[in-house]
Every structure is written in C-alpha cells, then in structure tokens.
Amino acid sequence: REDELSELVADIRENEKPDAVILVSHNGMDVDIKMASRVVGIDAIFGGHTHDGMPKPIEVKNAGGMTVVTNAGCSGKYIGVLDFDIKDHRVVGYNYKMLPILTDFVKPDAAMVSFITKMRNTKYDENVVEARSSAMSNNMDRLDKTYDEILTEKLCKTDQTLYRRGNFMGTWDQVLVNSLREEHDADFAMSAGVRWGTSVPAGHDVTMEDLMTNTSMTYGETYVSELKGAQLKDILEGIAENLFVQDPYLQSGGDMVRMGGMDYTIDPAATLGNRISEMKDDEGTTIDPNKSYKVSGWAQVGSVGNGRLMWDVAADYLRKQGTLDLKKVNHPTIKGVKTNPGIENYAGKLI
C-alpha cells in the first residue's frame, strides 16, 4: 500500500509540520527496507516481525533523502533507542543503540505477580478447552492438579541445549519431529517453523513449562497422512518460495518447515521448483518421487487432526528419555550462503 502511505506521509508533513516522521511497522526487515527505498518523507522505521535484533540500523536512500530502518528483535530482550539530532525542524543526524533488558534488575509489578500466582494455583478442571476437537478438549490426567503442579513437572534432563530460533532447524524442533514420528510410526515428520519458545541449557531439567512455551497454541492437534516423494518436494518448494522469493513484498515471513527423518539441500537464491534437491532419509536412501511415505505433523489451520495434542505427544517422548541425547539433528545443507553474515554461522552444512 505504498501509494496510501506516501499520501499519508505527505499530508502529515504538510498539515502537521512535525520535526520527524516515524513509522512503526510489523512488516519485517526486508519489506521495510524495500518500502523505505520507495516512500519518501519517513525519517525512521521501528520494525517488528523480524525476530532477530539488528545491532546496526540500515540507512536506505530514496528520492527524498534517507530513511533509517531498525529492528530490536523479539521477546523483550532489547529496546531500540533512537536519538535524533534535529536542527531547523528537520533531522540532521541520529544515534541508535539496542538497550538490553536485564530482567533481574527490573522490579516485578506487584499486581501482575499476584495475578500470576493466583493463576498458577488455580486447578485444572473440566471447563478447560485444550483442543478444537471435543474428544481432546480435556486431559483427565491433569484434572484437579494446579497449573503450577502441571507446569513444574520435570520431564527429563538434556545433554544438549534445546533452542528454537534457527532459520531451518533447531534442537527443540528435533524433539517435536522425533516425537511425531514415534507417535504415528511415520517415515518423516513436519513441524512449522515457528519461533516462540524457551531455550533449555545443556545439563538442565526439561519441564512441562519449557515444552508448553514451545508448543501451546489453539490448533495443536497432530495428524498423519500418506504423501508421495514428489508431493513432499512440492511442499518444501512452496514453503521455500514463500520465504525466499526475491521480491520482499511477496514474502510472507516465517522460517523453513522442520523436517524429521529427512536431510535435503536447499539453494535459497534459486527459483521455484529448483531450490530443493538431494532429499534423503536418515539412512541415506534417496527419496523416491513415486513412492508413498507416512508423514506426520501438527498445527493445521484449515483442518483438525485426529491425533493427540503436540504437547502431550512430546511430553511422553521426553519422559521416556531419562536424559535427552539427540543423536542426529536434521539440518539441511544450504547452498550459496557462505558469505551471508545473517546465516554464515548456522549449525547446518553450508556449501
């Protein structure tokens, strides 16, 4: 909606005569950069949606001068602080810092602490709705337990740090796809590349609360279906196109779907249909495009899976571990990104 934005900025400049115009955006960094290059009159953009904090602002030139694009990241880790140097009612300079939030130094709000304590001491009852399916709306194993009792259960210990925020895969994601494959006796499993969730350092206990931060949503049902190898490739290609199409305005955000039991190679700079190659199972066997495979997953928006909820599936998987030791993480091989500073340190193989 560039035209509308341009008209709005022009109207504000002409009629309200501010010293500076700031845009608060949830478009994502790539979209904000393109937009800043085409819309004049905006001094700075405070961006969201891109969850990684950008330590330096991007200066974007446009027909009217320059716009500063910033993004301070997610989860309250930082506050972006932008100081303008304004002379004669216009911006002539700026200074930008990302201010870290040290939660131990922030005094908790007494009313919020009281509310949280009350909620955690509330008992789970038959009125709780955990799923869209009435058959799984309630979990009788949780009945009459307080939320604190439920959430503080220690499921296992972990030998590896469990994290979520990789662009292609994370160790928490591997836990989810492993548990899906086991639950549904599936060849492969898919888990959406969502980005919330608490990390658990190596050597620590994994609690139900840790798991819930990574899985709780209103559409947590799991499922299993039959897909041919060619269909699997088409799914991966479609998701990659959504993420890596060159025009930022056509990207919808998010991360690559997590694949359990399968390794593959991806070339983000390639075109639709040509990004995904070398699809192989964990034994190294090439995926047959004409063969049918059992594929499990969760978090379907348009339909309701008939499998158990993701957090219960993963909780049972973790309870069996004793000490979690992920023997393999299905990181894909990524082509053409060795010089990309945003991805060069990714845990997977780069070529």
pLDDT band at residue 338 under the 50/70/90 scheme:
confident
Task: Tell me the CA end-to-end span of the chain in Å, nearest whole number.
Answer: 38
Q: What is the pLDDT of residues 232-275, one digit of tens each?
A: 999 999 999 999 999 999 988 778 999 999 999 999 999 999 99
Domain ranges of the chain: 2-101, 107-148, 153-334
Residue 51: the pLDDT is 81
Nearest partner of 224 among 250, 254, 185, judged by Cα? 185
Integer CA distances (angstroms), 300 to 51, 190, 220, in order: 23, 11, 8
pLDDT of residue 344 exceeding 60, the answer is no
Average pLDDT over residues 129-150: 93
pLDDT band at residue 171 under the 50/70/90 scheme:
very high
pLDDT band at residue 350 under the 50/70/90 scheme:
confident
What CATH architecture is 153-334?
Alpha-Beta Complex (3.90)
Residue 348: the pLDDT is 65
Residue 218: the pLDDT is 92
Nearest partner of 333 among 165, 168, 174, judged by Cα? 168
pLDDT band at residue 164 under the 50/70/90 scheme:
confident
Residue 254: the pLDDT is 76
Beta strand residue intervals within the chain, DSSP E: 22-25, 44-47, 58-62, 65-71, 78-87, 90-100, 154-158, 188-193, 205-207, 221-228, 255-260, 262-266, 276-281, 292-298, 307-309, 323-324, 333-334
Nearest partner of 271 among 248, 233, 231, 238, judged by Cα? 238
Q: Measured at the alpha carbon of residue 170, what is the angle toward residues 168 and 175, in degrees to the nearest 5?
A: 125
Residue 343: the pLDDT is 66
Average pLDDT over residues 324-340: 90
Helix (H, G, I), strand (E, B) or coil at 247: coil
Give residue for tokens 């845990």: 347
- For a pLDDT cut of 90, what percent of the chain falls above it? 83
Q: What is the pLDDT of residues 63-88, one digit of tens each?
A: 999 999 999 988 888 999 999 999 99
pTM, rounded to two decimals: 0.89
pLDDT band at residue 228 under the 50/70/90 scheme:
very high
